[in-house]
Copies of this chain bind each other. A is one copy, B any other.
Amino acid sequence: MARRELKQERAERTRAMVVEAAADVFGQLGFAGASVSKIADRAGVTLGAVYFHFRSKDELARHIVSRQPELVVPPHSSQGLQHAIDVTLTWAYQLPVDPFLRAGARLVWEQEQFVPREENSHQQWTSIMADNLRAAQARRELKASTDIEAVARLVVNACTGAQMHSYVETVHTDLPNRVAEMWQCLLPAIAVPSALSRISIDESRGRAG
């Protein structure tokens, strides 16, 4: 293997270690409590190595927040309204065990310190949820009266509140249950009867196998 490739491989490995360490540190200490030197220590690399890959603590935090949606991939293939539900159940199931999602949840209430207002995680998730609901609408699963954007905002708000309260009460253990319950309350308002009878909000939709 050529020398340049070896060097690049090592750089990529270091970058991944830094991001992983940042997720741990942000998840434990939040944005205000974290520092680049704590992240370097946790990763076992020099300060210079962190700054080679990221310009600042802000950039590291933005990176972790912006990656959240791509980490949530439902284990069961689905479309339309079922997919919208599956995304939330998968997130709820993974959150307690995924350091990146835990960091994202911890950073959400400090994000005005490092994320431009229009790129915050609420906007990001609302836009994904609205896309999923539009797909559901195209499949004629939603009532004509459904306000897609409003429902998307409600789902994201309710999931945010659920994860906060679930953390305080059960360290996120009952989060899938709370998310399923949210859909149970909401579906009669938005889904047509034929869709309602097909849709599953069973928590296992968020788990592989």
Chain A residues within CB distance 8 Å of chain B: 32-33, 108-109, 111-112, 117, 120, 122-123, 145, 147, 150-151, 153-154, 156-162, 164-165, 167-169, 178, 181-182, 184-190
Q: Which 4 A-B pairs have the closest CB atoms?
A: A157-B161, A160-B161, A189-B189, A161-B161
Q: Is the interface of A mostly helix, strand, loop or mixed?
A: helix
Which B-chain residue is minimally distant from A117 (CB atoms)? Answer: B169
Question: Contact: A120 with B165, CB < 8 Å?
Answer: yes
Question: Contact: B154 with A165, CB < 8 Å?
Answer: no
Q: Which residues of B contact A33 (CB under 8 A)?
A: 32
A209 to chain B, nearest CB (A): 28
User: Complex formed: what's the CA distance from A145 to B196 in Å?
Assistant: 14
User: Complex formed: what's the CA distance from A32 to B109 in Å?
Assistant: 14
Question: Contact: A178 with B162, CB < 8 Å?
Answer: no
Question: Contact: A157 with B165, CB < 8 Å?
Answer: yes
User: Can you name 12 extra interface pairs (CB under 8 A) apart from A147-B185, A158-B158, A160-B160?
Assistant: A109-B164, A117-B168, A120-B165, A122-B169, A147-B184, A156-B161, A157-B158, A157-B182, A161-B162, A164-B164, A186-B186, A189-B189
A115 to chain B, nearest CB (A): 8
A3 to chain B, nearest CB (A): 46
22 A-B Cβ contacts within 8 A? Answer: A109-B164, A109-B168, A112-B168, A117-B168, A120-B168, A122-B164, A147-B181, A147-B184, A150-B181, A154-B158, A154-B182, A154-B186, A156-B165, A157-B157, A157-B159, A157-B178, A158-B161, A160-B161, A160-B165, A161-B164, A185-B190, A189-B189
Which B-chain residue is minimally distant from A167 (CB atoms)? Answer: B112
A201 to chain B, nearest CB (A): 12
Q: Which residues of B contact A190 (CB under 8 A)?
A: 185
Question: Contact: B108 with A169, CB < 8 Å?
Answer: no
Which B-chain residue is minimally distant from A156 (CB atoms)? Answer: B161
User: Complex formed: what's the CA distance from A153 to B158 in Å?
Assistant: 9
Question: Contact: B112 with A185, CB < 8 Å?
Answer: no
